[in-house]
Amino acid sequence: MKRLIALLWAVLVLATSAGALEVEAPSALLMEKETGTVLFAKDEHAKLEPASVTKVMTLLLTMEAIDAGTLHYDDMVTASAHACSMGGSQIWLEENEQMSVSDMLKAVCVVSANDCAVALAEAVAGSEEAFVDRMTQRAAELGMADTVFKNATGLPAEGHVTSAHDIALMSRELILNHPDIRQYTTIWMDTLRDGASSLVNTNRLIRFYEGATGLKTGSTDSALYCLSATAERDGMELIAVIMKGSTSAQRFEDAQALLNYGFATYALASAAPQTPLAPVPVSLGTQATVQPVLGAGDRLLVEKAQAGSLTQTVELAESVEAPVAEGDPLGTMTVTCGEETIAQLPLVAGEAVPRITFGQMLLRMLRMALLSA
């Protein structure tokens, strides 16, 4: 009886969450970080001005430079006249003022400082123009087909557009592969210049939404109110993108509605094999067997009601013939919930097994003969 009540309650929660989901913004998207699955979309490919949400790409390229070792958190960046001329949201850098990369990242993430965004762009690429070229190239690599970048800040510029879909793609790339950005995006209040400059995050979800991890706000008179909001609960991180919100408060309300829906409806389940996978025999190989491994990620996005009721069925090849390349298909693992198939995941060779040569075969036969003598 308890199990039946729990099941009915889960179904009620799912139905209520899906039915109650409303987003006022004309364009929005909800994505799960680990798998990249889109959980909700509303005119997600509309090409709109992103305002300062543009800086997600600026942050991504900066973090990639840091991880590559071409830029360091404690490097001092000298503010150029161009960087200081940005206007809009800023920390009022003075020409030739020096500030660490870390402090500039903090200023960009917390108060959306345009002057620091351009200073970082110049530190990474030599000039904002060269940096924008890199932004464009990286956008293409990420499949951001709706996007054209004209600057590193998101300040109004003719033709500078992106979409909720593309913002989710670059946001995912940033938080998935550069989690250290959280040390800045989760700051609510802080200071710079030895306490002389106060910072308060433009993203109020950081203070008021449980599990909020970032990411970037943006607003101009023409773009209206935009947001890429990220939050994590129970090991699952979601990305909610809002574009052209009518008011600042409404964009946060819309983002919360998306995040609440995602957390109420979905969960990440382990896709790791529940029992060890048996080695697959290899004929004519330098070794007798090859070990299968899961070819996809080991996390599976499922409806929350299904998370505790998943079963696995493994089908492996009886044998394979060498040569075997790492990643070659060896079978399939099917994940089900009751009679419903949730996913079919590839099982692949975890190592390469070369084909045995004539000389190696001769030596093997001689060893066998000696052992049997």
Per the annotation, the verdict on 17 as an active-site residue is: no
Give yes or no for a contact between 330 and 292, defined as CB atoms under 8 angstroms apart. yes
Q: Indicate the DSSP class of residue 311.
A: E
From 80, 112, 163, 171, the catalytic residue: 112
Q: Which amino acid is at 33?
A: K
From 17, 52, 80, 163, the catalytic residue: 52
| Residue among 179, 228, 240 at smallest CA distance from 56 | 228
DSSP code per residue over 2-18 = HHHHHHHHHHHHHHHHH
Per the annotation, the verdict on 52 as an active-site residue is: yes
- Cis check for the bond before 215: say yes or no (omega within 30 of 0): yes
Residue 124, SS3 per DSSP: helix
Write out the two tokens for 73. Answer: 């958190």
In this structure, the dihedral spanned by the alpha carbons of residues 37, 40, 46 and 51, taken in order and rounded to 10 degrees, is -90
Angle, CA 313 vertex, CA 10 and CA 176 arms, to 5°: 65
DSSP code per residue over 16-75 = HHHHH----SSEEEEEETTT--EEEEESTT--B--GGGGHHHHHHHHHHHHHHTSS-TT-
Write out the two tokens for 236. Answer: 């699952």
From 17, 27, 33, 55, the catalytic residue: 55
Write out the two tokens for 363. Answer: 């030596």
Question: Residue 214 phi/psi, 5° resolution?
Answer: 160, -160
The DSSP bridge pattern shows strands 320-321 and 280-283 to be: parallel
**Strand partners of residue 223:** none
Angle, CA 180 vertex, CA 175 and CA 181 arms, to 5°: 60
Q: What is the C-alpha separation between 3 and 238, in angstroms, rounded?
A: 29
Per the annotation, the verdict on 89 as an active-site residue is: no
Residues marked active site are found at: 52, 55, 112
